[in-house]
């Protein structure tokens, strides 16, 4: 007896490979798989890294990145695209041109990946203008506080500054929405600020008290949002589901080698534990 197969939703991650397995495309594919989304990849760079830091980056040749994007685009109906580490202006230009040539306008989540949690710079200084040209097409941009400071040129050290900066970043990036992540803020580490066309929103989650590295949290959150957008969920709901998944990943972390990494399978935090309310 034959059966009808329902097509799986598909998301594409355009990012670097993390040799330590905690971030980059490795984290992205874990997020996609968790939400039942088929993951495609276009690799922008090979990195030598582990949860303690990045020691070397080898960018992909622009023509190889372009070929990856073309092969994926011709074979899959993409429900969402997520970008991570794009390294330099040439690679960002390839991605921007490919996005501009697509007529289906899939949701685009841009994780700027300018500064790693360890403090390593992950993008050429002269590539920032190219990155901002890409963000004008984004459904959502997800900077952390060091990246927000790099983009605005001023410190972000208080909840009030976060709210002001989220609004400023939406103007600077030209994106439909910005999710400013608060993990580096001592006063409000579990609250992110979402700025969309309807205003500012506090995205608040439980604080996870565990002695674990936070390496890869940005990749995990952005790709989980992309997965939920690929499933057809509205942006705020996608953000809430993704934040609950990240909380579960942090709570389920277990030792692996000399560092704690995200354990699989992940049990997300109860949906009610993550709230989105007017800021």
Catalytic residue list: 181, 213, 216-219
DSSP the chain: ---PPPPPPEEEEEEEEETTSSSHHHHHHHHHHHTT-EEEEEEEEEEEEETTEEEEEEEPPHHHHHHHHHHHHHH---SEEEE---BSHHHHHHHHHHHHH-SS---EEE----B-TTS-B-B-GGGHHHHHHHHTT-SEE---HHHHHHHHSS---SHHHHHHHHHHHHHHH--S-EEE--TT-TTSTTEEEEEETTEEEEEE------S---TTHHHHHHHHHHHHHHTT--HHHHHHHHHHHHHHHHHT-EEETTEEE--SS--PPPGGGSEEEE-
Q: Give yes or no for a contact between 15 and 142, defined as CB atoms under 8 angstroms apart.
A: no
The number of angstroms, rounded, from the C-alpha of 156 to the middle of its chain's C-alpha atoms is 20
Three-state SS at 78: coil
Of 11, 46, 4, the residue nearest 223 (C-alpha):
11
Q: Look at the block and give the residue holding tokens 């841009």.
A: 110
Peptide bond just before 265 cis, omega within 30 deg? yes
What are the backbone angles phi and psi of residue 205, rounded to the nearest 5°? -130, 165
């Amino acid at each position: 007896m034959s059966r009808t197969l329902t097509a799986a939703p598909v998301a594409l991650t355009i990012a670097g490979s993390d040799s330590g397995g905690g971030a980059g495309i490795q984290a992205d594919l874990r997020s996609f798989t968790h939400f039942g989304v088929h993951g495609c990849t276009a690799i922008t760079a090979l990195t030598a890294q582990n949860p303690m830091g990045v020691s070397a980056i080898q960018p992909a040749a622009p023509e190889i990145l372009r070929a990856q994007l073309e092969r994926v685009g011709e074979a899959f109906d993409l429900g969402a695209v997520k970008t991570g580490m794009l390294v330099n202006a040439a690679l960002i230009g390839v991605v921007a041109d490919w996005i501009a040539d697509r007529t289906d306008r899939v949701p685009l989540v841009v994780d700027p990946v300018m500064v790693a949690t360890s403090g390593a710079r992950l993008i050429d200084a002269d590539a920032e203008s190219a990155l901002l040209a890409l963000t004008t097409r984004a459904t959502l941009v997800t900077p952390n506080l060091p990246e927000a400071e790099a983009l605005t040129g001023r410190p972000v050290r208080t909840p009030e500054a976060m709210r002001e900066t989220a609004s400023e970043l939406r103007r600077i990036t030209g994106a439909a929405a910005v999710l400013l992540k608060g993990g580096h803020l001592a006063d409000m580490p579990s609250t992110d600020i979402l700025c969309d066309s309807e205003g500012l929103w506090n995205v608040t989650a439980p604080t996870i008290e565990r002695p674990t590295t936070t390496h890869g949290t940005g990749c995990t959150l952005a790709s989980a949002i992309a997965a939920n957008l690929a499933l057809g969920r509205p942006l705020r709901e996608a953000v809430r589901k993704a934040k609950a998944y990240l909380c579960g990943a942090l709570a389920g972390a277990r030792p692996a080698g000399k560092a704690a990494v995200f354990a699989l399978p992940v049990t997300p935090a109860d949906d009610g534990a993550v709230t989105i309310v007017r800021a």
